[in-house]
Amino acid sequence: MDGVTAKPDPLIHPITRLSICGLLAAGADWVEFAALRDAAGVSDSVLSKQSRVLEDAGYLEVRKGAVGRRPRTWFRLTPEGRRATQGHLAWLAQLEEAVSASTQDTLSMSLASISIRDASET
Amino acid sequence: MRDSASDPAALEPLELLRVQRSRLADRMRPPWWYLPGTAIVWALFFVGPFASRSFASPASVSTWAIVIPIVGVCFALQWGMTRAIGIKAGPRPLRLLRDGLFYYRPGRPAGIAIAVVCFAALGAEASLIRHGLPVAAIAVAVLAVAANVAAMQALQLAVRRDLRDGGWTA
């Protein structure tokens, strides 16, 4: 993610919107409503509502069409939405690193205290 | 908003996103007709040297008569697959600039293999036809179709892997 500033985006942070943006940023150009709904594991109404919020914010582009009589809705991220998603995911990745580092520190401190205790007991 | 590095719950979204990306990648399996379709496209492509006017055969046709059906079938396959799976993944660069360094994307070996097979097989076919060995040329064409269909499968697999790994966001 070259040139991406890691920063949280309050609009993307709610889990459903993060799922929508994260899935659309994964590499596909356009993703159809049903494919996105199934991958995100949400209901039709939740996806409709959250995608409208993202569309109003200018993060999402929506294209409506039809195959025969069946309406089809396609989604893709706008450049602004892609930047915001990449920044938010980079921020989450930094959090992940920080948490794993702090867990590692805690673990090594615990191991050190155990070995000191063992040494003092013997 | 959770903003604490010491809060392991903040990591749940990333793990969930990995699972969801995996679900999306699993959905990107081509329908049953895609494989025979790609075989037809490559068969049309490697029939070219046999039908080309440059060999003045009785059955020779214009190059356009070969190119137009190939392009038509390619578009039909892509259109059908996009509608069937609900995901459109267009042409993607084979390398990616990240932190000032170029990284090769998955699928590059398959892409190179397809190009090499095309050039080598077309050259070999043309040479064999000129030397009056049409049966050997047909054998080369059949092998080339099989190789390119396999390479297309590998390319699809790589695109799925890229999607699972997060593509641009990885």
pLDDT tens digits, one per residue of B101-140 = 666 667 788 888 999 999 999 999 988 888 888 899 999 9
Domain layout of chain A by residue ranges: 15-121
Is there a domain that residue B58 lies in? yes
Is there a domain that residue B170 lies in? no
Domain that holds residue B112: 30-87+94-164
**Residue B110: what pLDDT?**
87
Cβ burial of A112 (10 Å; 0-12, 13-18, 19+) is: exposed
What average pLDDT does the segment B44-49 reach?
A: 86
Two structure tokens written together for B75: 């578009």
Is there a domain that residue B22 lies in? no
What chain A residue is nearest to B164 in terms of C-alpha separation? Answer: A26
Best mutation target among A95, A97, A102, A104 (most B Cβ atoms within 10 Å) is A95
Is there a domain that residue B106 lies in? yes
Is there a domain that residue B14 lies in? no
Confidence of residue B161 (pLDDT cuts 50, 70, 90): confident
Structural domains counted in chain B: 1
Predicted-complex ipTM score: 0.76
pLDDT averaged over chain B?
80
* E strand or H helix at A77: strand A70-77
Which ranges of B52-133 would DSSP assign to H, the alpha helix?
64-85, 108-130
Tell me: pLDDT of B6 over 50.
no
**Residue B3: what pLDDT?**
41
Is there a domain that residue B151 lies in? yes
Query: In chain A, pLDDT over 70 holds for what percent of residues?
Result: 82
Is there a domain that residue B7 lies in? no
Cβ B87–A35 below 8 Å, yes or no? Answer: yes
* Distance in angstroms (rounded) separating the CA atoms of residues A37 and A43: 7
The model carries a pTM of 0.75
* Distance in angstroms (rounded) separating the CA atoms of residues B44 and A39: 37
Assigned CATH class of A15-121: mainly alpha
Is there a domain that residue B17 lies in? no
What chain B residue is nearest to A94 in terms of C-alpha separation? Answer: B5
Tell me: pLDDT of B55 over 90.
no
What average pLDDT does the segment B97-102 reach?
A: 59
Q: Which of residues 5-34 of B touch A (CB under 8 A)?
A: 5-8, 10-11, 13-14, 16-17, 20-21, 23-24, 27-28
The position carrying tokens 């582009």 is: A61
